[in-house]
């Protein structure tokens, strides 16, 4: 029987079978050995499950090839990638208009991770009930210019939830964003049956506690899955070569062929088409500043890896 992995903990995987049932399955021993390091099972994986010969349990006997994945490096861990979710159609980057205050550098980091994984992204700015409407639209205009679909929502005042709901239907979406921005609240409001845990944000420090543990895929009542992930606050390294970063800003792409040097870093070289575009206002300075900052981080990592990542390119 075919199924989709919804969550996992302690070697037991919750699988939604094609007949609509949700059941617990373990990894078949033979498969476990084959897959050490090669492919770690992730939420969203398409699997084949079989009834165990002895007993009544289920076992995962096959993992189907992934059509996409969202991966990041575990913080502080070696070069190994951690797959957050498999077979993802889009990344939904959720931030709050306030409480916690949105940081554009962090939004750009999440978008780069989506682009680096070859995934479509859309942006949700939640809690618009807390701020002035015109100001919040102006503040995020750069992302509309960059071509990202943008949703302004409020769980409290029921704003934009219908449109967001429609954008999630019949797709597998990963919701990512810092803790406390309202990811679980949004899902609960759009799909009342989900009953996700919602954490109270500490008003004194405006820092949300992590209330979602591990990635969990929720089957949507009208087809599709939503993967709710814990706040990815510590996302830092994602194993991208610095030379690939410029392509991860979609609005930069049309300028990249126009620099004097083919391997232009767009930081200090003469005749840089991207910096010209920034100077003339065709490309947002904020987004360019994010590029410069992320590029610096990637180069720093490459230096501390003895330049190996650079040479490979
Ligand atoms: N004012 C306002 N508060 C909201 C809104 N949406 C959510 N909240 C509040 O924000 C806090 C955090 O919401 P959660 O849904 O737990 O946030 P989360 O993004 O799932 O957080 P993690 O699971 O920790 O990653 C809760 O106290 C919610 O009640 C909104 O639209 N407006
Ligand atoms: Mg949550
Ligand atoms: Zn350049």
3-state SS assignment for residue 91: strand
pLDDT beyond 50 at 6: yes
In what order do the strands lie in the sheet containing 150-152?
150-152, 120-126, 90-96, 172-176, 225-228, 216-219
Ligand 3 center from residue 261 Cα (angstroms): 7
Distance of alpha carbon 12 from alpha carbon 24, whole angstroms: 6
What tens digit of pLDDT does each residue of 242-255 get?
Answer: 999 999 999 999 99
Pocket test of ligand 1: the residue of 97, 180, 189 to mutate, having most ligand atoms within 8 Å of its CB, is: 180
pLDDT at 122: 98
- The answer to whether the CB of 127 is under 6 A from ligand 1 is yes
Nearest-5° Cα angle at 88, 26 to 49: 25
Rounded to two decimals, the pTM is 0.88
pLDDT beyond 80 at 199: no
pLDDT at 29: 75
Nearest protein CA to atom 13 of ligand 1, as residue: 182
- The answer to whether the CB of 46 is under 6 A from ligand 1 is no
pLDDT at 128: 98
Ligand 2 center from residue 183 Cα (angstroms): 5
pLDDT at 54: 76
- The answer to whether the CB of 37 is under 6 A from ligand 1 is no
Pocket test of ligand 1: the residue of 96, 130, 185, 226 to mutate, having most ligand atoms within 8 Å of its CB, is: 185
Nearest to 190 by CA among 219, 155, 230, 225: 155
- The answer to whether the CB of 201 is under 6 A from ligand 1 is yes
228 — pLDDT class (breaks 50, 70, 90): confident
Nearest protein CA to atom 27 of ligand 1, as residue: 200
Pocket test of ligand 1: the residue of 92, 178, 203, 208 to mutate, having most ligand atoms within 8 Å of its CB, is: 208
pLDDT beyond 50 at 311: no
Q: Closest ligand 1 atom to the C-alpha of 189?
A: 6
Q: How many CB atoms lie within 10 A of CB 21?
A: 11
pLDDT beyond 60 at 236: no
What tens digit of pLDDT does each residue of 37-75 get?
Answer: 445 788 999 999 999 877 779 999 999 999 998 887 544
207 — pLDDT class (breaks 50, 70, 90): very low
Ligand 3 center from residue 17 Cα (angstroms): 50
Q: What is the mean pLDDT of the chain?
A: 86
Ligand nearest to the CA of 188: 1
Max CA separation in the chain (angstroms): 71
DSSP code of residue 276: H
What tens digit of pLDDT does each residue of 271-289 get?
Answer: 999 999 999 999 999 999 9
- The answer to whether the CB of 197 is under 6 A from ligand 1 is no
pLDDT beyond 50 at 309: no
Helix %, strand %, coil % of the chain (to 5): 30, 25, 45
3-state SS assignment for residue 129: helix
pLDDT at 305: 76
What tens digit of pLDDT does each residue of 148-197 get?
Answer: 999 999 999 999 999 999 999 999 999 988 889 999 899 999 998 888 78
What tens digit of pLDDT does each residue of 80-125 get?
Answer: 567 888 999 999 999 999 999 999 999 999 999 899 889 999 999 9
Ligand 3 center from residue 268 Cα (angstroms): 8
What tens digit of pLDDT does each residue of 65-90 get?
Answer: 999 988 875 444 445 567 888 999 99
Per the CB < 8 A criterion, the answer to whether 49 and 15 are in contact is yes
pLDDT at 245: 95
pLDDT beyond 80 at 17: yes
pLDDT beyond 90 at 134: yes
- The answer to whether the CB of 229 is under 6 A from ligand 1 is no
Q: Give the CA radius of gyration of the chain.
A: 21
Ligand 3 center from residue 252 Cα (angstroms): 10
- The answer to whether the CB of 31 is under 6 A from ligand 1 is no
């Amino acid at each position: 029987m075919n199924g989709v992995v919804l969550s996992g903990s302690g070697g037991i995987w919750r699988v939604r079978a094609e007949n609509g049932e949700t059941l617990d399955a373990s990894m078949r021993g033979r498969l476990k050995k084959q897959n050490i390091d090669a492919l770690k099972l992730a939420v969203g994986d398409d699997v084949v499950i079989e009834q165990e010969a002895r007993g009544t349990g289920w076992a995962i006997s096959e993992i189907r090839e992934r059509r996409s994945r969202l991966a990041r490096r575990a913080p502080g861990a070696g070069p190994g990638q951690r797959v957050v979710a498999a077979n993802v159609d889009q990344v939904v980057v959720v931030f709050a208009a306030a409480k916690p205050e949105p940081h554009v550098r962090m939004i750009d980091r999440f978008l780069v991770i989506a682009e680096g994984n070859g995934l479509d992204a859309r942006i949700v700015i939640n809690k618009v009930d807390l701020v002035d409407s015109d100001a919040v639209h102006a503040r995020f205009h750069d992302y509309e210019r960059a071509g990202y679909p943008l949703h302004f929502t409020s769980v409290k005042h029921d704003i934009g939830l219908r449109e967001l709901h429609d954008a999630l239907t019949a797709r597998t979406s990963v919701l990512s964003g810092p803790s406390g921005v309202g990811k679980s609240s949004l899902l609960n409001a759009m799909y009342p049956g989900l009953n996700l845990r919602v954490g109270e944000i500490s008003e004194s420090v405006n820092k949300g506690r992590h209330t979602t543990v591990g990635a969990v895929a929720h089957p949507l009542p009208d087809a599709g899955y939503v993967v709710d992930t814990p706040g990815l606050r510590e996302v830092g390294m994602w194993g991208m070569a610095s030379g690939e970063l410029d392509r991860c800003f979609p609005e930069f792409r049309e300028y990249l062929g126009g620099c004097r040097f083919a391997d232009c870093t767009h930081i200090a070289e003469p005749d840089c088409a991207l910096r010209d575009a920034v100077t003339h206002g065709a490309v947002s300075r904020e987004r360019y500043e994010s590029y410069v900052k992320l590029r610096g981080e990637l180069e720093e990592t490459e230096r501390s890896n003895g330049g190996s990542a650079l040479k490979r390119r």
